[in-house]
């Protein structure tokens, strides 16, 4: 299994953070690696976003023992479905990814495209991934509304509509040869506890995002096991 994690600022993370990518790696090590089930995290990038530099140039992960190969991803600060759709075919082809974990949409709806156009970019993204690997499978996590959605009724409605369109797309486009899963977003996401700024995840939020992906893969495909944060985290 060659896993490519795709996302925006909530996935790339910033200097000094663990990121949910790290939490997913720990989970895969515990549930797959310890049993000899082969997996590899792949992708063209490995850095965190450095807010001071305004660029993805940091390797200052909160866990210095996070292996460099496991840091790989296709995520970018300010990048959404709009940006990743043209990149995914090349990334899947070059890194031979067969399993995609995708968390995108909030930045699109906030700054670039409405719900209908964003859903169109989901279709472009999946078509691109399948053009590179017809048997690719993917888990897609719906948008988790942020503080803007709490205060902006129109934006909240757009998030809800996009999530409906995403669910419809997953149902329509999934095939036995290239299955798609819609992960269940974390129940009762708490902006005060699960984010540090109303959008980006705290350690608790990172675990909850990783758990959404891990539990979907385990329940549908028998990969790994139920998500369990390490004691004390």
Contacts 24+ apart (CB under 8 A), 187-196: 189/144, 189/145, 191/146, 191/147, 191/150, 195/146, 195/147
What residues of the chain score a pLDDT lower than 70?
34, 231-233
Buried (b) or exposed (e) across 51-77, using 16+ Cβ within 10 A? eeeeebebeebeeeebeeebbbbbbbb
Beta strands in the chain (DSSP E): 2-7, 40-42, 48-50, 55-58, 74-75, 99-103, 137-140, 180-182
- Judge contact between 156 and 150, C-beta under 8 A: yes
Tell me which DSSP letter residue 176 carries.
S
Q: Tell me what pLDDT residue 116 has.
A: 98
**Measuring CA to CA, which residue among 178, 161, 174, 88 is closest to residue 124?**
88
- The pLDDT tens digits of the residues spanning 28-84 come to 999 987 677 899 999 999 999 999 999 999 999 999 999 999 999 999 999 999 999
Q: Tell me what pLDDT residue 233 has.
A: 63
Please enumerate in sequence order all residues whose Cβ is within 8 A of that of 138, keeping only pairs 6 or more positions apart, or say none.
99, 100, 101, 102, 126, 129, 179, 180, 181
Q: Tell me what pLDDT residue 99 has.
A: 98
The count of residues in the chain is 233
- Judge contact between 144 and 96, C-beta under 8 A: no
């Amino acid at each position: 299994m060659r896993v490519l994690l795709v996302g925006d600022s909530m996935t790339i993370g910033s200097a000094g953070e663990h990121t949910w990518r790290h939490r997913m790696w720990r989970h895969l090590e515990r549930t797959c690696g310890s049993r000899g089930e082969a997996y590899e995290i792949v992708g063209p990038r490995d850095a965190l976003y450095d807010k001071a530099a305004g660029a993805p140039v940091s390797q200052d992960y909160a866990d210095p023992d996070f292996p460099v190969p496991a840091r790989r991803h296709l995520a970018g600060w300010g990048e959404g479905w709009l940006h990743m759709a043209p990149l995914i075919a090349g990334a899947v082809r070059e890194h031979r990814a067969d399993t995609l974990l995708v968390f995108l949409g909030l930045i699109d709806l906030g700054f670039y495209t409405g719900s209908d156009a964003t859903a169109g970019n989901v279709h472009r993204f999946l078509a691109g991934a399948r053009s590179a690997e017809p048997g690719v499978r993917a888990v897609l996590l719906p948008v988790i509304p942020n503080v803007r959605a709490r205060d902006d009724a129109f934006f909240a409605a757009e998030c809800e509509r996009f999530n409906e369109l995403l669910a419809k797309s997953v149902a329509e486009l999934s095939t036995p040869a290239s299955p798609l899963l819609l992960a269940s977003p974390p129940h009762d996401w708490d902006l005060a506890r699960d984010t540090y700024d109303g959008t980006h995840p705290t350690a608790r939020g990172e675990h909850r995002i990783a758990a959404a992906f891990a539990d979907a893969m385990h329940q549908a495909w028998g990969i790994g096991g139920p998500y369990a944060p390490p004691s004390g985290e």
